[in-house]
A and B are shown apart, each in its own frame.
Chain A
Amino acid sequence: MTVFTKIPKQVEEVMEKWNGSTSRRNFLKGSGLLVVSFGAAMASVNPLSSWAQSETAAAAQAAGPYPDPDFRQIDSWIVIHEDSTATFYVGKTDGGQGTGTAFRQMMADELDIAFNKTDLIMGRTDITVDQGGSGASDGIARDGQAMRRVAAEARRVLLEMASTRFGVPVDQLAVSEGVITVKADPSKKVAYGELIGGSRFNVTLTGNNINATTGVAKVKAVGDLKIVGQPIQRYDIPPKVDGSLQWAVDAKVPGMVHARNVRPPVAGAKLISIDESSVRGIPGFIQVVSKGNYVAVVCEREEQAIKAARQLKVNWQKPATESFPTSEDLYKYMRNATPTSLTRDRPGVRLPSVVGNPDAALASAAKVIEAEYDFPFQGHTAIGPAHAMADPSNGQMTIWSNDMKAYGLRTGVADFLGMPRDRVRVIWLDGPQLWGRTAADDAGFEAAFLAKEVGRPVRMQWMRHEETAWDTKGPAFTFKLRGGLDAQGNLIALEYNARTVDYNHLGYNDPDTVLIAQLMGRRPSAPASGGASSPSEMYDIPNRRKTTHVVRLPLVWETPLRTGNLRDPNGPQITFAGESFIDELAAAAKADPVEFRLRLLTASTDDDNQFKRARAIAAVKAAAAAYGWDTRPSPKPLGAGTILTGRGISYCDRNSTVVVEIAEVEVNRETGHVWVKRLVCAHDCGLVINPDGLRGTIEGNMLHGMSRALHEEVQFDTEKVTSVDWISHPTLTHADAPARIDIVLVNGDPNPNRPDLPAYGAGEAAIKPMVAAVANAIYDATGVRIRRVPFRDKRVLAALQAARV
Chain B
Amino acid sequence: MSDITLKVNGRTHTLDIDPSTPLLYILRNDLGLLGPRFGCGLGQCGACTVIIKGAAVRSCITPTSTVQGAEITTLEGLAQDGTLHPIQQAWIDEQALQCGFCQNGQIMNAKALLDRNPDPTDAEIREGMVGNLCRCMTYYRIQAAIKRAANVISAARSASGKEVVG
Residues of A at the B interface (CB closer than 8 Å) are 48-49, 51, 95-98, 233-234, 236-238, 240-247, 249-250, 283, 301-303, 306, 381-385, 430-434, 461, 463-464, 692-693, 696-697, 699-700, 703-704, 706-707, 725-727, 731-739, 741
Question: Which of A385, A700, A703 touches B38 (beta carbons < 8 Å)?
Answer: A385
Pick the 7 closest A-B CB pairs, nearest first.
A96-B99, A703-B137, A243-B35, A96-B98, A737-B139, A240-B100, A432-B101
In the complex, which range does the number of interface residues on chain B fall in? 35 or more
CA gap between A431 and B29 in the complex, in Å: 18
CB of A704 within 8 A of CB of B95, answer no
Contact partners of A98 in chain B: CB under 8 A? 95
Min CB distance A719 to B, Å, is 23
CA gap between A95 and B127 in the complex, in Å: 28
CA gap between A97 and B44 in the complex, in Å: 25
CA gap between A144 and B96 in the complex, in Å: 24
CB of A734 within 8 A of CB of B29, answer no
CA gap between A776 and B22 in the complex, in Å: 46
The answer to whether residues A243 and B99 also contact, given A384-B39, A384-B47 and a CB cut-off of 8 A, is no
Check B45 for interface membership: any CB of A closer than 8 A.
yes
CA gap between A247 and B83 in the complex, in Å: 23
Given contacts A96-B99, A243-B35, A703-B138, 14 further A-B contacts (CB under 8 A): A237-B97, A240-B97, A241-B91, A242-B84, A243-B74, A249-B38, A303-B25, A384-B38, A700-B136, A700-B138, A704-B136, A704-B137, A731-B133, A733-B139
Interface residues of A, dominant DSSP: loop
Min CB distance A692 to B, Å, is 6
Contact partners of A703 in chain B: CB under 8 A? 137-140
CA gap between A580 and B115 in the complex, in Å: 46
Q: Hey, what's the 0/1 contact readout for B118-162 against A, CB within 8 Å counting as 1? A: 000010011101111111111111110000000000000000000
Min CB distance B8 to A, Å, is 12
Q: Hey, what's the 0/1 contact readout for B78-121 against A, CB within 8 Å counting as 1? A: 11000010001001100111111111100100000000000000
CB of A734 within 8 A of CB of B135, answer no
CB of A303 within 8 A of CB of B22, answer yes
Question: Which of A48, A434, A726, A741 touches B32 (beta carbons < 8 Å)?
Answer: A48
Contact partners of A49 in chain B: CB under 8 A? 32
Interface residues of B, dominant DSSP: loop
CA gap between A96 and B100 in the complex, in Å: 7
Most buried by A among B22, B34, B132, B142: B34
Min CB distance B42 to A, Å, is 6
CB of A738 within 8 A of CB of B130, answer no
Question: Which of B34, B38, B98, B101 touches A696 (beta carbons < 8 Å)?
Answer: B98
CA gap between A144 and B25 in the complex, in Å: 39
CB of B103 within 8 A of CB of A303, answer no
CB of A302 within 8 A of CB of B101, answer no
CA gap between A736 and B132 in the complex, in Å: 12
CB of A240 within 8 A of CB of B103, answer yes
CB of B137 within 8 A of CB of A706, answer yes
Check B40 for interface membership: any CB of A closer than 8 A.
yes
Min CB distance B79 to A, Å, is 6
Min CB distance A115 to B, Å, is 15
Check B3 for interface membership: any CB of A closer than 8 A.
no
Min CB distance B46 to A, Å, is 10
Contact partners of B125 in chain A: CB under 8 A? 734
